[in-house]
């Protein structure tokens, strides 16, 4: 491939690091990666659920901020907009300066945003803080997803990625349950209870920051950027730790990769690679991200508001916790099938089935109670959870390593901007109109649109998905720096 402006070539090396990482058995060391990096989804789930549960108190002009349903939806859209911009901004920095630097920086941005949210004094301040918090979370997605894929062995990559992405719902469940006592005026002053809810995210984030100090830089990133000695030291240390702690004998590898190292890789090279060399994969990722982003951000951002406004629910925490547990169970139970059955079958099935169930819920909406609506949501999103998580898995594994973080950021930003910003705004408006008409079926069009987008994503997967199961990242997409 011709060198473009911004590419800075170094020497040429031959390395066996990818093969050595992929042949590792699952070991205790890998749990450090899962805990240190996977908690970003717990934080995101905590944030989104807390906002969903705070609808009533944020509408209170005395103890809250005096917001209406449309403004609740706007706050969700602002958070997602921040996530999109953060993903794009920090994503290209992740490919340029390394995974570890950026997953530390983005976590710090998140901490600043959520602490400032707890101190909100008016709607403008609240929206600004939600935007900052979103910046950090969006940047986390790009930095963390790329690091996870590059450190997890090929045989386990699908299930681990999907389960980690599904851990979003552990945060959602925790946020739902913790808001129950914190929003009880008999236990906590209502003026401060909702602020304590946001402070929970900061407490968890500080704990994650300490764990992440033990997560190394990606050896794959290091050897491409002229730091092969550091990469060798890290992999040597991992192998020794795995062999000692798990009492295993590691077999030697004979598969190598010849790399022409570069300090930086220009954006024109990355753009040409993604759009010109992999157009089918690009269309697939766009379809998957738009479908899951609209489905989740539209339904979940406004689920608590729907329960309270139309179905007479005073405390939504228990309903949201049940919904969240179902989502995590779906990722946990269905995740291994993405490695065993294969990507194509599982992606298409999870997208199409969840879309059909949600469409049925929209059709029956006028006859549903709070309990039966929650059950429909639990069934639909038990399946959808694994499908939505597979969007991140797909974007992170089917493009060359040098473009990985930016690709994740690009598809997350475009898909989420299309589905995640418009979804909450549309649903907020639908709820306002349906409230005025005193008819819950007014929000059904949102369900139908979300269902249709998921089904389209599933159909695209049938024709365009890549059989990436059990394969090394370098076999799925040849690195741009690889020598013929």
Note the Cα 439 to chain centre separation in Å: 34
Let me know: does 436 contact 263? Beta carbons within 8 Å.
no
401-412: burial string, b at 16+ Cβ within 10 Å, e else: bbbbbbbbbbbb
311 membership: H or E segment, kind and range:
none
Whole-angstrom distance, CA of residue 422 vs CA of residue 424 = 6
Task: Report which of 104, 168, 125 is spatially closest to residue 331, judged by C-alpha positions.
Answer: 168
Find the helix or strand (DSSP H, E) in which 312 lies.
Answer: none
* Letter string b/e over residues 270-295, b meaning 16 or more CB atoms within 10 A of that residue's CB: beebbeeebeebbebbbbbbbbbbbb
Give the residues of the chain that fall short of pLDDT 50.
Answer: 1-6
Cβ count near 240 (within 10 Å): 11
Q: What is the pTM of this model?
A: 0.84
How far is residue 401's CA from residue 150's CA, in Å, rounded to a whole number?
A: 9
Contacts of 185 (CB under 8 A, 6+ apart): 193
Tell me how far apart the alpha carbons of residues 304 and 316 are, in angstroms, rounded to a whole number.
6
Output helix, strand, coil percentages for the chain, rounded to the nearest 5.
75, 5, 20
List the end-to-end C-alpha distance of the chain, in Å, as a whole number: 10
| CB count in 10 Å sphere of residue 423 | 29
Q: Which residues neighbour 371 within 8 Å (Cβ) at sequence distance 6 or greater?
A: none
- Residue that the structure tokens 């991992």 belong to: 238
pLDDT of 75: 84
Q: Locate 410 and state its tokens.
A: 């690009």
Measured distance CA(214)–CA(211) in Å, rounded: 6
pLDDT for 204 equals 81
| Contact predicate 402/277, CB 8 Å | no
261: phi then psi, degrees, rounded to nearest 5: -70, 150
Specify the residue for token string 């984030």. 205
């Amino acid at each position: 491939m011709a060198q473009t402006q911004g590419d800075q070539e170094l020497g040429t090396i031959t390395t066996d690091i990818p093969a050595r990482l992929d042949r590792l058995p699952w070991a205790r060391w890998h749990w450090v990666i899962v805990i240190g990096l996977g908690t970003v989804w717990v934080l995101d789930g905590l944030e989104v659920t807390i906002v969903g549960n705070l609808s009533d108190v944020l509408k209170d002009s005395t103890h809250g901020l005096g917001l209406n349903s449309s403004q609740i939806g706007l706050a969700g859209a602002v958070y997602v907009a921040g996530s999109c911009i953060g993903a794009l901004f920090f994503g290209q920095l992740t490919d340029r300066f390394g995974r570890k630097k950026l997953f530390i920086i983005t976590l710090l941005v998140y901490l600043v945003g959520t602490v400032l949210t707890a101190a909100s004094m008016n709607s403008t301040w609240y929206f600004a803080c939600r935007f900052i918090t979103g910046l950090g979370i969006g940047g986390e997605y790009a930095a963390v997803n790329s690091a996870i894929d590059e450190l997890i062995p090929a045989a386990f990559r699908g299930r681990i990625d999907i389960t980690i992405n599904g851990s979003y719902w552990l945060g959602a469940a925790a946020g739902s349950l913790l808001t129950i006592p914190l929003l009880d005026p008999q236990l906590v002053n209502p003026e401060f209870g909702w602020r304590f809810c946001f402070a929970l995210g900061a407490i968890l984030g500080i704990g994650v920051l300490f764990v992440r100090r033990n997560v190394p830089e990606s050896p794959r990133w290091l050897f491409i950027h002229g730091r092969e000695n550091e990469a060798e030291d890290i992999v040597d240390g991992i192998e020794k730790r795995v062999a000692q702690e798990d009492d295993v004998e590691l077999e030697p590898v004979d598969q190598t990769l010849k790399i022409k190292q570069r300090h930086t890789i220009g954006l024109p090279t990355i753009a040409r690679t993604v759009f010109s060399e992999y157009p089918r994969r690009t269309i697939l990722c766009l379809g998957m991200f738009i479908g899951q982003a609209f489905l989740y951000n539209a339904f979940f951002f406004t689920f608590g508001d729907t329960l309270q406004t139309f179905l007479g629910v005073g405390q939504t925490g228990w309903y949201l916790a049940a919904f969240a547990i179902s989502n995590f169970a779906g990722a946990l139970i269905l995740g291994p099938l993405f490695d065993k059955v294969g990507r194509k079958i599982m992606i298409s099935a999870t997208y199409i089935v969840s879309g059909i169930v949600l469409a049925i819920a929209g059709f029956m909406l006028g006859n549903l109670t709070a309990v039966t609506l929650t059950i429909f949501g639990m069934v639909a999103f038990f399946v959808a959870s694994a499908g939505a998580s597979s969007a991140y898995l797909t974007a992170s594994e089917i493009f060359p390593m040098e473009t990985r973080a930016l690709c994740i950021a690009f598809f997350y930003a475009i898909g989420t901007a299309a589905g995640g910003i418009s979804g909450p705004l549309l649903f907020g408006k639908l709820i306002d109109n349906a409230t005025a008409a005193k008819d819950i079926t007014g929000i059904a069009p949102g369900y139908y649109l979300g269902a249709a987008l998921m089904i389209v994503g599933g159909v695209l997967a049938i024709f365009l998905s890549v059989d990436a199961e059990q394969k090394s990242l370098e076999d799925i997409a040849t690195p741009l720096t690889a020598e013929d």
